[in-house]
Amino acid sequence: QSAKMWSGRFREPLDYDFEQWQRSFPFDWRLLPQEVAASRAHARTIAAAGILTPDELDKMLRGLEAVGQRTDAWAHRISATSGQPEYTSSTQQIGAAIVASAPQAEDIHHYVELELTREVGSLALKLHTGRSRNEQIATDMRLFVRDAIDQTLSDLRDWRTALISLAELAGDAVMPSYTHLQRAEPVLVAHWLLAYVSMLERDSSRFSDARVRMNFCPLGSGAVAGATLALDRSIAAEALEFTAPTPNSMDATSDRDFMLDFAQAASTLGLHISRFAEELTLYATAEFGFVDLPEAYSTGSSAMPQKKNPDLTELARGKSARLLGAATALATLIKGLPLAYNKDLQEGQEQIFDVADTLSGVLRVLPGFTSSLKFRFDKMQTAAETGYLNAMAAATYLSNKGVPFRKAHEIIGNAVRLGLDKGLELNALPLSDLQQLSEHFSEDFFAAISLRATLDCHDVTGGTATSRVKQALQEAKLRVLNM
Ligand code: ARG
């Protein structure tokens, strides 16, 4: 067997630098489980078409399974020589070892073929009957993205669970809400936290949608025009738990929309993560003082002994740039590519690996971080009680007395002005002062602008009234935790 998969028509050897540069094995070795699964599915398909005898199929499947265990074997070997526990060998270490072990492998497809030859001899050469690397890489990447989506969905559930528990712990604690980063109206802390649960639910639905859309099997599409054998494509589709075979071979071998969908959903999630991270970074400042950063998730300064820095939230905010970058790179890669397969597409793989690693990394720390947040409810409440956050409720009081809202707005504006001049909140202004502004003020005004009343007047679906938030929390628990 020649070292290359395609050397028959070539007389000259490849330029060494070009050969090394175009290889994808240094990064696509990560597709080993997917390549093995897809190859096993293809073996079943060609066996059904009479290309392999039942014995050969059996031998092939066992050989492929053994090849699939190469990464475990390397993890084992690395830990034996380094003395560190097996699970600590990093993806990079395993990758470096496996790539060094097969310098002649051009890509993961070539690697599996070479290793399968070591397992089952020349029978391995039959595996490529009726297939092309173009359909293989399209299939491997779909399988990879599908797993990454499942992982993300489960990680997102963990983070939402942490947010919901925190909202429950917050009870009826209050905080200011902001618009333009200026104090606006009081809200329940739980209401604020549930805002993130809503964002994450949309994120989950984006990932789930993408999963449904991508779950079709390219195997049998051949290089571009379809397999050259009358294969029953449903065999592989079923074996790999796809909904059905893809309907068009040209599209199937050149489509990378599923990668784009995943990266775009990831970058939207990244934006939400960065908004959360930004708020926590702000709220942990002495200027806000709403939250004590958990020490387990903070770092110190090598220079300034007093510091406790919010590295987790800063890094989480920074990771969103990578996700957005990957989505942009993929869109740019696909734009203007003629049908069907082009080698440019190889460039998309590392973006996807990076998206998957970035997401699983940040989502591994966020739930624990979220659960260990300690809010300073006293400071949040003080902030919610100062700065005229009840002005809208006050205007509503007047409009309930029959004053047109525009007029009520004007009167309360004057009251705020008066308060600012006297250094008093609305509820500290003498009733006689207020009555000079409007005859509609009476003693019941002060109850109407209390903190509780200010919250509870937002008694609409999605509003921050205590009873509404309680209900929203129950509904979120039902949706996310099924309880
Ligand atoms: N490593 C290649 C990729 O990622 C696999 C497909 C190669 N196909 C080809 N016709 N050269 O795109």
Does the pLDDT of residue 176 top 50, yes or no? yes
Q: What is the pLDDT of residues 149-167, one digit of tens each?
A: 999 999 999 999 999 999 9
- Give per-residue pLDDT as tens, 435-464: 999 999 999 999 999 999 999 999 999 999
Nearest-CA residue for atom 12 of ligand 1: 346
| Residue 117 sits in the same domain as residue 243 | no
Mutate which of 108, 112, 133 to test ligand 1's pocket (most atoms within 8 Å of Cβ)?
A: 133
- How far apart CA 306 and CA 302 sit, in angstroms, is 10
Q: Is the CB of 59 under 6 A from ligand 1?
A: no
Mean pLDDT of 267-275: 98
Q: Is it the case that residue 57 has pLDDT exceeding 70?
A: yes
| Residues 92 and 179 occupy one common structural domain | no
**Please, is 177 exposed, middle or buried when counting C-beta atoms within 10 Å of its C-beta (0-12, 13-18, 19+)?**
middle
Bridge partner residues of 291 (DSSP): 375
Domain-embedded: residue 2: no
Which CATH number characterizes residue 457's domain? 1.10.40.30
pLDDT of residue 282: 98
The model's confidence at residue 1, banded by pLDDT at 50, 70 and 90, is very low
Give the count of domains, the chain.
Answer: 3
For 305, the token pair is 């002994």
Residue 72 has pLDDT above 90, yes or no: no
71 — pLDDT class (breaks 50, 70, 90): confident
Q: Please check the confidence at residue 422 and state whether its pLDDT lies above 90.
A: yes
Q: Give the pLDDT band (50/70/90) at residue 368.
A: very high
Ligand 1 neighbour 108 (Cβ under 6 A): no
pLDDT tens, residue by residue, 272-306? 999 999 999 999 999 999 999 998 998 888 888 88
- Interval 181-186 mean pLDDT: 97
Distance 60 CA to ligand 1 centre (A): 23
Residue listed under structure tokens 């009520």: 408
Q: What is the mean pLDDT of residues 457-479?
A: 96
pLDDT at 481 over 90: no
Mean predicted confidence (pLDDT) in 228-250? 97
In angstroms, the CA 94 to CA 78 distance is 8
How far is the C-alpha of 107 from the C-alpha of 101, rounded, in Å?
A: 13
Q: Are residues 139 and 16 in the same domain?
A: no
Task: Examine the pLDDT at 307 and tell me if it is beyond 50.
Answer: yes
Q: Cα of 138 to ligand 1 centre, how many Å?
A: 9
274 and 405 fall within a common domain: no
Does the pLDDT of residue 86 top 80, yes or no?
no
**Of 365, 382, 399, which one is at a domain's C-terminal end?**
382
Is pLDDT at 94 greater than 50 in this prediction? yes
Domain limit, last residue, from 126, 143, 161:
126
Specify whether 82 is located in the same domain as 143: no
Residue 379 has pLDDT above 60, yes or no: yes
Strand partners, 187: 175
Which pLDDT score, from 0 to 100, does residue 112 have?
Answer: 97
pLDDT digits (tens, 9 = 90+) for 185-221: 999 999 999 999 999 999 999 999 999 999 999 999 9
**Same domain as 67, residue 53:** yes
How confident is the model at residue 135, as a pLDDT? 98
377 and 269 in one domain?
yes
CB atoms within 10 A of CB 214: 20
Q: Considering the domain boundaries, does residue 253 fall inside one? A: yes
Confidence of residue 89 (pLDDT cuts 50, 70, 90): low
**Does one domain contain both 202 and 269?**
yes
Establish if 1 belongs to a structural domain: no
Model ipTM over 0.85: yes
The answer to whether residue 180 is catalytic is yes
Is residue 347 located within the same domain as residue 421?
A: no
Ligand 1 pocket residue status of 138, Cβ below 6 Å:
no
Q: Give yes or no: residues 332 and 430 share one domain.
A: no
For ligand 1, atom 11: residue with the closest CA: 343
Domain range for residue 43?
7-126
Residue 329: what pLDDT?
Answer: 98
Q: For 2-51, how does the pLDDT look when each residue is reduced to its tens digit (9 = 90+)?
A: 577 777 888 888 899 999 999 999 999 999 999 999 999 999 999 999 99
376 shares its domain with 393: no
Mean predicted lDDT score pLDDT of the chain: 95
Pocket of ligand 1 contains residue 256 by CB under 6 Å:
no
Which CATH number fits the domain that encloses residue 284? Answer: 1.20.200.10
In degrees, rounded to 5, the angle at the alpha carbon of residue 438 between the alpha carbons of residues 434 and 439 is 100
In the numeric block, the tokens 């002060």 are attached to: 446
Domain boundary among 126, 150, 175: 126
pLDDT tens by residue, 129-148: 999 999 999 999 999 999 99
